[in-house]
């Protein structure tokens, strides 16, 4: 009996150990799920801001959300029907109201060209070439009637007809004036309106243009601006620092792809560089980082995507990782060491406060401020995070463990920005360049195909750079449309938004 009781006691002890182990595993799983639920609550009900503020968790319940959804969940049976098929004629017609104002512009030959250089006889006017273009000025549409007198030699018909050339235009044979094309592009890529909404807006003014034709104008204008687009890229790659990121976009009617990626470069001078360069690729392969950056030598700001890490190692660039991403990792890690998490977020907040002051100082003083105030903070953070990761009690699958690991993987590069005056603490310029794209794709939803993706990248680059410089994109585009075809290709950078703005300022300062 004594032996049996000892066996029973031993088996009970083993069972207790097994149950304790199982309880520990289940507790870990519960904590992990609670962390996921807390993150989901914040995504649905809470603010996305990473500020250190108290959150009233009593309000973040799922009960009201579920009841609201269930109260709206109603089904309705709809009878089947036949849809009328439309017949496409292939004609892209433009219908205009009869009372549309008309403005006539006469483009004549210079007086010296109305005299034959060989015979000295005056050329005779034999008629006129009349062209019509739908134009736009803020608040109204009008029809631009372009009249060009035609001349011929009074005695020698073989000399042909002399006529003044049409003004330079981004789309020379287009029925839309540059002013209207600039307005359409501004509505689409600045106001984020899909083309069918733009077509509806035009129809309210009595102007009926098919969405297909609007799309052709937008794509062709974007492709025509490609040389200027490439000039912007060269300006960014010639700088000592740049920011890079990428974001997905949907592609609608391409047989080869259903989605693609818009890669972004931000560069130029200052704490918030003005150039916003977008490039469309069909995927997110690492090779595209090399294609867009070529053999760039300088400081690269980015997140921890492997394509950038591989490129930086290969080219031996200076990498300035984004402290905003580090902050986000710790902000989302709600189920770890609360004291350490709060302390880390407070230290990062101090680093950002130091940067606000640093960018008001000359480069040498900026570096000195970073070395004296920011570096000690980073060193202390590294020491405490390493200690916590080595000796702390951390859930293996928790977001807190992931935040600590993310931080430690960047330790060799965390202080790089303190050694270069032009470097930044974060990659926020690239993050801000993504925002207009994110807003736009919620409205125009998708790109038509790879060709339209390339055109969209060009137009986004120019209009978003204009916005960064507080330039009216429509005014800029209309002026560039009229000038780019006749501009010297060697000085194309003069038409970039920042250089254009300097020229506008110089022009306005000239005495009248």
* DSSP notation for 58-111: GG--SHHHHHHHHHH---------PPPPPPP-S---EE--TT--EEEEE----G
Q: What is the pLDDT of residue 62?
A: 35
Partnered with residue 447 across adjacent β-strands are 251
Domains of the chain: 94-220 (no CATH), 225-319+428-475 (3.30.420), 323-419 (no CATH)
Closest among 285, 282, 330, 322 to 413, alpha carbons compared? 322
Buried b (16+ CB within 10 A) or exposed e, 275-301: bbbbbbbeebeeebbbebbeebebbbb
pLDDT in tens, 100-109: 999 999 999 9
Q: What is the pLDDT of residue 384?
A: 93
Burial group, residue 27, by CB count within 10 angstroms (0-12, 13-18, 19+): exposed
Q: What is the pLDDT of residue 22?
A: 77
C-alpha dist (Å) from residue 5 to 9, 10, 15, 147: 6, 9, 15, 114
Q: What is the pLDDT of residue 389?
A: 84
C-alpha dist (Å) from residue 373 to 31, 217, 358, 378: 37, 54, 11, 9
Q: What is the pLDDT of residue 5?
A: 63
In order along its 512 residues, the chain shows pLDDT tens digits of 555 566 677 777 777 777 777 777 777 777 777 777 776 776 676 665 666 544 444 443 333 333 333 344 444 444 444 544 444 554 567 899 999 999 999 999 998 888 888 788 888 888 999 999 999 999 899 999 999 999 998 888 777 889 999 999 999 989 999 999 999 999 999 998 989 899 999 999 999 999 999 999 999 999 999 999 999 999 999 999 999 999 888 776 555 556 788 899 999 988 889 999 999 988 889 999 999 999 999 999 999 999 999 999 999 999 999 999 999 999 988 777 889 999 999 999 999 999 999 999 999 999 999 999 999 999 999 999 999 888 877 777 788 889 999 999 999 999 999 999 999 999 999 999 988 887 766 665 456 677 888 899 999 999 999 999 999 999 999 999 999 999 998 999 999 999 999 988 655 443 43
Query: 31: helix, coil or strand?
Result: helix
Q: CB atoms < 10 A from the CB of 200, how many?
A: 12
Token pair, residue 16, equals 């207790």
Closest among 139, 72, 144, 134 to 102, alpha carbons compared? 144
Q: CB atoms < 10 A from the CB of 423, how many?
A: 20
Closest among 274, 272, 270, 276 to 244, alpha carbons compared? 276
Average pLDDT of every residue of the chain:
84
CB of 500 closer than 8 Å to CB of 478: no
Closest among 452, 171, 214, 428 to 301, alpha carbons compared? 428
Q: What is the pLDDT of residue 443?
A: 62
């Amino acid at each position: 009996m004594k032996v049996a009781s000892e066996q029973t006691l031993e088996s009970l002890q083993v069972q207790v150990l097994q149950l304790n182990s199982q309880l520990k595993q289940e507790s870990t799983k519960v904590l992990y799920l609670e962390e996921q639920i807390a993150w989901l609550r914040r995504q649905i009900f809470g603010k996305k801001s990473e500020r250190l503020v108290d959150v009233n968790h009593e309000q973040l319940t799922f009960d009201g959300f579920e009841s609201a959804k269930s109260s709206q969940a109603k089904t309705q049976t709809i009878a089947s029907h036949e849809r009328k098929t439309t017949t496409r004629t292939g004609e892209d017609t433009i219908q205009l109201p009869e009372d549309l104002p008309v403005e006539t512009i006469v483009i004549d030959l210079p007086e010296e060209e109305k005299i034959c250089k060989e015979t000295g006889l005056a050329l005779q006017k034999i008629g006129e070439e009349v062209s019509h273009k739908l134009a736009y000025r803020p608040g109204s549409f009008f029809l631009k009637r372009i009249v060009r007198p035609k001349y011929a030699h009074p005695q020698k018909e073989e000399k042909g007809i002399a006529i003044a050339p049409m003004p330079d235009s981004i789309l020379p044979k287009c029925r839309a004036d540059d002013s209207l094309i600039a307005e359409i592009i501004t509505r689409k890529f600045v106001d984020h309106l899909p083309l069918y909404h733009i077509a509806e807006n035009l129809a309210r003014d009595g102007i009926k243009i098919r969405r297909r034709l609007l799309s052709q104008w937008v794509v062709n204008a974007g492709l025509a601006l490609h040389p200027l687009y490439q000039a912007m890229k060269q300006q960014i790659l010639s700088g000592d620092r740049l920011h890079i990121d990428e974001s997905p976009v949907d592609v609608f009617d391409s047989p080869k792809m259903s989605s693609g990626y818009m890669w972004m470069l931000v560069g130029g001078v200052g704490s918030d560089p003005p150039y916003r360069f977008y490039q469309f690729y069909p995927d997110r392969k690492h090779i595209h980082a090399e294609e867009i950056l070529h053999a760039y030598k300088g400081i690269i700001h980015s997140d921890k995507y492997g394509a950038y890490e591989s490129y930086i190692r290969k080219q031996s660039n200076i990498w300035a990782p984004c402290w905003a991403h580090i902050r986000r990792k710790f902000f989302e890690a709600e189920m770890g060491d609360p004291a350490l998490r709060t302390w880390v977020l407070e230290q990062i907040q101090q680093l950002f406060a130091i940067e606000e002051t640093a960018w008001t100082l000359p480069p040498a003083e900026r570096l000195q401020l970073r070395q004296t105030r920011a570096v000690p903070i980073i060193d202390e953070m590294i020491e405490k995070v390493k200690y916590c990761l080595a000796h702390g009690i951390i859930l293996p699958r928790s977001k807190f463990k992931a935040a600590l690991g993310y931080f430690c993987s960047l330790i060799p590069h965390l202080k790089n920005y303190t050694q270069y005056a032009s470097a930044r603490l974060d990659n926020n310029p690239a993050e801000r360049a993504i925002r207009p794209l994110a807003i736009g794709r919620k409205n125009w939803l998708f790109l038509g195909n790879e060709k339209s993706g390339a055109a969209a990248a060009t137009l986004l680059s120019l209009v978003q750079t204009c916005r960064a410089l507080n330039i009216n994109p429509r005014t800029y585009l209309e002026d560039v449309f009229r000038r780019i075809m006749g501009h010297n290709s060697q000085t194309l950078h003069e038409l970039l938004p920042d250089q254009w703005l300097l020229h506008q300022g110089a022009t306005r300062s000239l005495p009248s």
